[in-house]
């Protein structure tokens, strides 16, 4: 079941009570007890959270319910994710780390960071069929993205612009008060637009040792809770740089007989070789766009013994050479290594 931590309700009760309503009345229809409020250990369905927020906004006649809730909450994360973000070296590292492990908080919450020349975009989406119809949770989550940048850097920050797919549900001036910048509606994405240099801001509480410890904890937690597809993907990513990533070797790493692994993957509609190819493709894209590793180094990281084999695979994936890919899509801050295709 897609679920979310009880910390999503930290300030919910306060806001509802101020408006003369009962928290229990909002939770009861979803069979959620008051003990879940503020708890990091308790879970409840993400869909219920969305329905509660949308219903609360209507019942309380508070169109900016989600934005007010995010502001009162005052922080974007709790538990290990908060420590992970705070201890990162830079804002960009913090965002990437949170995005990587957000599925532990809830598989339904989907953030994505895109770097462009001179600016970056932090996108938000969720796993519901249409978040155009759920403006409260979307607005709350996007504002949390803004608050997270301020939180980890220890300084107030205002984005260049905010974009939403849905139409405005309240006064435009109120949106500007919450975000401090132009807010655009009816857009193709939900996103914060920020100058690229924001990602280079140092995190106020950077702690390399703590960051490593929390990351190790989350990796262990993820491995214990991931489905078979992700467990296989994790082992593939570990084995690739060692140039030994066959079905047999992955099965051995998982403590399974190769035929058992193949049968279980097939039952989930997964072909091992296709899964391996997709993982290599994604990692090639990330390394070409976000690192200055040479083509030969990337080929080795992806488990190719010959650079030419990687180049042929890359041509099949993207219909261009690795260096063309980097020139077209690479982070402008990357120093191009002197290498050949």
How do the domains of the chain map onto residue ranges? Answer: 3-200, 226-329
User: What is the rounded CA–CA span in Å between residue 222 and residue 217?
Assistant: 9
Contacts of 13 (CB under 8 A, 6+ apart): 23, 37
- Spatial CA neighbour of 144 closest among 45, 7, 279: 7
d(CA 171, CA 316): 49
Per-residue confidence (pLDDT) for residue 64, from 0 to 100? 95
pLDDT at 148: 93
Please list, in sequence order, all residues whose beta carbon lies within 8 angstroms of the beta carbon of residue 242, skipping any fewer than 6 positions away. Answer: 303
| Cα distance between residue 321 and residue 138, in whole Å | 38
- pLDDT score recorded for residue 19: 84
Residue (of 216, 118, 204) closest to 156 by Cα position = 204
What is the pTM (predicted TM-score) of this model? 0.65
| Cα radius of gyration (the chain) | 22
How does pLDDT run across 180-227, given as a tens digit for each residue?
999 999 998 899 999 999 999 999 999 999 999 998 888 777 655 567
Fold observed for domain 3-200: H-NOX domain (3.90.1520)
Per-position pLDDT tens, the chain of length 341: 344 555 566 677 788 888 888 877 877 776 666 665 555 555 667 777 888 888 888 888 999 999 998 998 877 687 888 999 999 999 999 998 888 788 777 767 878 888 888 999 999 987 665 667 789 999 999 999 999 999 999 988 999 999 999 999 999 999 999 999 999 999 988 999 999 999 999 999 999 999 999 988 887 776 555 678 888 988 898 888 878 789 999 998 888 899 999 998 988 888 999 999 999 999 999 889 887 788 998 999 899 999 999 999 999 999 999 999 999 988 776 555 444 44
Res 170: pLDDT: 93
Q: What one-character DSSP code corresponds to residue 63?
A: T
**The CATH number of domain 226-329, selected from 2.40.50.140, 1.10.8.420, 3.40.190.10, 1.10.10.60:** 1.10.10.60
């Amino acid at each position: 079941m897609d679920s979310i931590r009880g910390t999503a309700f930290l300030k919910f009760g306060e806001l509802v009570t101020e408006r003369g309503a009962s928290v229990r009345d909002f939770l009861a229809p979803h069979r959620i007890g008051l003990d879940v409020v503020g708890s990091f250990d308790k879970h409840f369905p993400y869909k219920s959270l969305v329905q509660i927020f949308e219903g609360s906004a209507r019942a309380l006649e508070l169109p900016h319910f989600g934005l007010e809730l995010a502001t009162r909450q005052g922080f974007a994360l709790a538990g290990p994710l908060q420590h992970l973000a705070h201890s990162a070296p830079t804002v960009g590292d913090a965002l990437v780390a949170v995005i990587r492990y957000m599925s532990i908080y809830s598989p339904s919450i989907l953030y994505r960071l895109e770097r462009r020349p001179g600016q970056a975009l932090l996108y938000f989406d969720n796993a519901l069929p249409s978040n155009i119809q759920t403006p409260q949770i979307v607005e709350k989550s996007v504002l949390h993205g803004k608050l997270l940048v301020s939180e980890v850097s220890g300084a107030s920050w205002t984005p260049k612009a905010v974009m939403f797919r849905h139409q405005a549900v309240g006064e435009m001036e109120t949106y500007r008060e919450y975000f401090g910048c132009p807010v655009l509606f009816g857009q193709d994405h939900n996103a914060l637009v920020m100058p690229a240099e924001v990602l280079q801001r140092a995190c106020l509480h950077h702690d390399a040792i703590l960051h490593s410890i929390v990351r190790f904890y989350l990796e262990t937690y993820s491995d214990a809770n991931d489905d078979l597809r992700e467990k296989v993907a994790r082992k593939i990513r570990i084995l690739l740089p060692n140039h030994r990533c066959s079905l047999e070797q992955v099965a051995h790493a998982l403590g399974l007989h190769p035929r058992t692994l193949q049968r279980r993957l097939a039952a989930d509609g997964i072909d091992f070789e296709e899964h391996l190819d997709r993982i290599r493709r994604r990692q090639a894209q990330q390394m070409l766009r976000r690192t200055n590793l040479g083509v030969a180094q990337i080929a080795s990281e992806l488990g190719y013994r010959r650079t030419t084999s990687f180049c042929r695979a890359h041509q099949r994936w993207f219909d261009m050479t690795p260096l063309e890919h980097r020139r077209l899509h690479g982070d402008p801050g990357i120093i191009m290594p002197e290498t050949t295709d």
